[in-house]
């Protein structure tokens, strides 16, 4: 029994992979480039993918690596803040400031914690999918989400007190 076609994977996951790239890179052009590079790498590797593989986690792992590479290239440049891409509309003034502060703090988390939080809270992934994306155990995925969220809570508890 043959697995799904590559075109069906694109149709099914293109929106959420693009959303992940935008959230990860916060630059529409860099996100578009990462999106295209993700699917190019996936296309090349697809014939070797086992039929039993979790295709969603596999695509996210590729996207995560591509976005990580892009973030390193962009590290010397300030990241533009494109709230319409992040939120779909302009948030209110107080929400805007808080969102910028949270986003900035999330960006400062260690890589695995940052990616785990993004995958869990923004992409809605289960811990087993996060583990597959990050190439770690489910316990490590859960720990990275927990530690990242804990750091966020502690930081903003200190800031607001």
Read off the pLDDT of residues 110-153 as tens digits, 9 standing for 90 and up. 999 999 999 998 888 999 999 999 999 999 999 999 999 999 98
- Give pLDDT, residue 150: 93
Residue ranges of the chain whose pLDDT lies below 70: 1-3, 75-95, 160-161
Q: Which two tokens stand for residue 32?
A: 């578009």
Quick one: pLDDT at residue 75? 66
**What domains, with CATH codes, occur in the chain?**
1-80 (1.10.1740.10), 91-161 (1.10.10.10)
Q: What is the pLDDT of residue 83?
A: 47
- 110 within 8 A of 116, measured Cβ to Cβ: no
């Amino acid at each position: 029994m043959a697995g799904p076609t590559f075109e069906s994977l694109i149709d099914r996951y293109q929106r959420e992979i693009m959303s992940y790239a935008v959230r990860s890179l916060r630059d529409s052009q860099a996100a578009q480039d990462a999106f295209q590079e993700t699917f190019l790498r996936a296309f090349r590797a697809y014939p070797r993918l086992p039929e039993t593989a979790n295709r969603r986690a596999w695509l996210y792992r590729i996207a995560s690596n591509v976005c990580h590479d892009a973030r390193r290239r962009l590290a010397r440049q300030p990241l533009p803040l494109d709230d319409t891409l992040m939120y779909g509309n302009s948030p209110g003034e107080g929400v805007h400031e808080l969102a910028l502060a949270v986003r900035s703090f999330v960006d400062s988390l260690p890589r695995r914690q940052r990616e785990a939080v993004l995958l869990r809270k923004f992409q809605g992934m289960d811990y087993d999918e996060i583990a597959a994306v990050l190439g770690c155990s489910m316990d490590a995925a859960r720990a990275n989400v927990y530690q990242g969220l804990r750091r966020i809570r502690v930081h903003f508890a200190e800031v607001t007190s």
